[in-house]
Amino acid sequence: MRFETTIGLEIHVELSTASKMFCGCSALFGGEPNTHTCPGCLGHPGSLPVTNRQAVAYGIMLALALNCEIAPRSIFHRKNYFYPDMPKNYQISQYDVPLSSGGSLEIDMGDYIRRVGITRVHLEEDTGKSIHVGESGRIHGADFSLEDFNRAGIPLAEIVTEPHLKSPEEARVFLQSLRSIIIYLGISDCKMEEGSLRCDANISISADERIGTKVEVKNMNSFKSLYRALVFEEERQRSLLQEGKTIVQETRHWDESNGVAIPMRTKEEAFDYRYFPEPDLVPLELDPTWVEEIRKKIPELPAAKLERFQSQYSLPQDVAMVLVGEEEMADFFERSADSKASPVEIGKWMVGDISAILNEKGISIKEAPISPQMLGELVLLLEERTISSKMAKEVLLEVFETGKSPRSIVEEKNLLQITDEKELEKIIDEVMAENSKAVDDFRSGKEQALKFLIGNVMKKTRGKANPSLVSDMVRRKLSS
Amino acid sequence: MAISEEEVEHIAKLSAFFLSDEEKKVFAKQLSEVLDCADVISEVDTSNVKPTSYITNLVNVLREDEVKPSLSIEEVMKNAPHVYEGVFKVPRII
């Protein structure tokens, strides 16, 4: 049997506003528990919400970047349910009249493009955070739980996709592309490990045209765990169907350490959220000129940048893709390519040696002691043949250690390649005098001896001589 | 409009509390009466009135993204029935 996989994602992004969605408390991550709270986000009776203008602007920007239609009028709803991390016993969210809908995002899968429909982008507020106390350290088997409401009320954008993704790999690439766009927009830091980017997935398997029974998977907190959870679910559902069994519609919780998605407690009536319009807020009727102003602020997005990097700088596609994937890398590259050095070489160094050093040190390019100018200088030194590529690698390491410029390191360490022919000639003469047998061997036709002599010159100059120049000079001397 | 005991039970469950059979009977009757009372409104002819959820004509009431001081932690915790190491304590969730 051939099975078709269908996946849809629901993504929550914390917007990086200074204050919360509906009150003036700080929206910063962390802080001592409950120190970023007020009667509003603690759900005290009588407190009233007022919508954060910046959060709305960020929501509009994200919706536009995902090609959504901005609704001329949208409203907030109360989503009612009881959970300890939600002090009001309802979440202010959007329901049937969301901020925006009908968008799409194209993702590049290497050998094909997948166009993924964006059902909607809407605004809501985050919940508090539960800390489970007990031996397990988890919600299951906890003795009791603690509630920190610093996160409660932080603005969230919720992005819902159409079920257009056909594999766990497409889901992973989609989430990465989305994250990259959001970081370019500068509206969230998208740190999955801190929960500022969260992703739930719906997945179903079908052997015919009918859509299969969907299962929701939650709690994936990295790109890898999203992928692993979906592969797990795909396999599980496939073998159930092959055994002729039926799939139960349910919500499963991804357990990263054990690599399994386990069914969550069935809340048979949990989906009865009794949505109704939030009476404490008024509708949003967005002024089209404001929306257009926001549209103008959208920077060049990854897909456009990828194309430009290839045409403007002649970068190979794989290099351009790596650079564009991280906005910081793309910016660094462009500033570095502003120098006289070859952009293609700069690109190669960035995705090669520099990325390797960054990975090893676990830092971002922004945190690294190297500046775009320094990289340009290094590549230029190489292109001018002032240093060899082997030396360039050493100089790069030295830049990371000391933060000094490549040129000053080269000068300090006396690494300048010897291009002065007189100086080289002297060394070559010495080598020939010390190895008269090799000289004779070459003259009697042994080509091998030439390499031996060149090797000795290189050794004497401690690798600072230009090998092709040495080779020419030695050959000239031997045949004279 | 009559509310059944099953509906009362459902609403109670959603509200996270539990009722005795006797209470279900009492609330079913009382809630039905409340709804009947509100039903009087449906006698008004609204065929020419546009439905709305808002009674003011206000739109776009927005505030600037400025941080205002939060409550002091003493005030935050003042009415908390259960506290553990200075943090809100709740019974086990599952």
**Residue ranges covered by each domain of chain B:** 1-43
**Contact between B68 and A25 using a beta-carbon 8 Å cutoff:** yes
**Which is nearest to A13 in space by CA: A197, A220, A200?**
A197
- The total number of structural domains that make up chain A: 3
**Contact between B87 and A33 using a beta-carbon 8 Å cutoff:** yes
Is A236 found in the same domain as A171?
A: yes
Q: What angle do CA A173, A178, A183 make, to 5 degrees?
A: 125
Out of A254, A277, A294, pick the residue that ends a domain.
A294
User: Is the CB of residue A37 less than 8 Å away from at least one CB of chain B?
Assistant: yes
Buried b (16+ CB within 10 A) or exposed e, A111-127: eeebebebbbbbbbbbb
Q: What average pLDDT is seen over chain A?
A: 91
Helix boundaries (H) for A70-127 = none
Is A304 found in the same domain as A288?
A: no
Is A281 found in the same domain as A355?
A: no
Tell me the pLDDT tens digit for each residue of B2-58: 899 999 998 888 887 889 999 999 999 999 999 999 999 889 999 999 888 898 889
**Which of B16, B87, B94 is closest, CB to CB, to A139?**
B94
**A149-158, A172-181, A233-242, A270-279: least confidently modelled range:** A270-279
What is the identity of the amino acid at B25? K
The C-alpha atoms of residue A40 and residue A50 are separated, in whole angstroms, by 10
Is A353 found in the same domain as A395?
A: yes
CB contact at 8 A, A102 and A68: yes
Written as six digits, the tokens of A228 are: 């692993």
User: Is the CB of residue A281 less than 8 Å away from at least one CB of chain B?
Assistant: yes
Out of A412, A436, A463, pick the residue that ends a domain.
A412
The reported pLDDT for the residue numbered A56 is 98
Is A168 found in the same domain as A88?
A: yes
Out of A412, A440, A463, pick the residue that ends a domain.
A412
Tell me the pLDDT tens digit for each residue of A109-150: 989 999 999 999 999 999 999 999 988 777 778 899 999 999
Is A17 found in the same domain as A75?
A: yes
The C-alpha atoms of residue A305 and residue B30 are separated, in whole angstroms, by 65
The reported pLDDT for the residue numbered A416 is 65
Handedness of CA A354, A360, A363, A369 (dihedral sign): negative
Tell me the pLDDT tens digit for each residue of A350-402: 999 999 999 999 999 999 999 999 999 999 988 887 888 888 898 999 999 99
Whether the full predicted model's pTM is greater than 0.80, yes or no, is yes
Tally of CB atoms within 10 A around A170: 19
Report chain A residues whose CB lies below 8 A from the CB of B84.
133, 144, 146
**Contact between A277 and B77 using a beta-carbon 8 Å cutoff:** no
The C-alpha atoms of residue B59 and residue A291 are separated, in whole angstroms, by 16
Q: Tell me the mean pLDDT in the region A201-220.
A: 89
Is A448 found in the same domain as A371?
A: no
**Contact between B60 and A34 using a beta-carbon 8 Å cutoff:** no
Look up the domain containing A160 and give its range.
4-294
**Contact between A145 and B59 using a beta-carbon 8 Å cutoff:** no
Is the domain B1-43 a CATH 3.30.70 member?
no
Instruction: Tell me how close the Cα of B74 comes to any Cα of chain A, in angstroms.
Output: 10
Instruction: Tell me how close the Cα of B22 comes to any Cα of chain A, in angstroms.
Output: 23
Is A323 found in the same domain as A280?
A: no
Report chain B residues whose CB lies below 8 A from the CB of A131.
87
The reported pLDDT for the residue numbered A268 is 46
CATH code of residue A439 = 1.10.10.410
Is A262 found in the same domain as A127?
A: yes
Which of B70, B73, B85 to substitute to test the interface with A, most A CBs within 10 Å?
B70
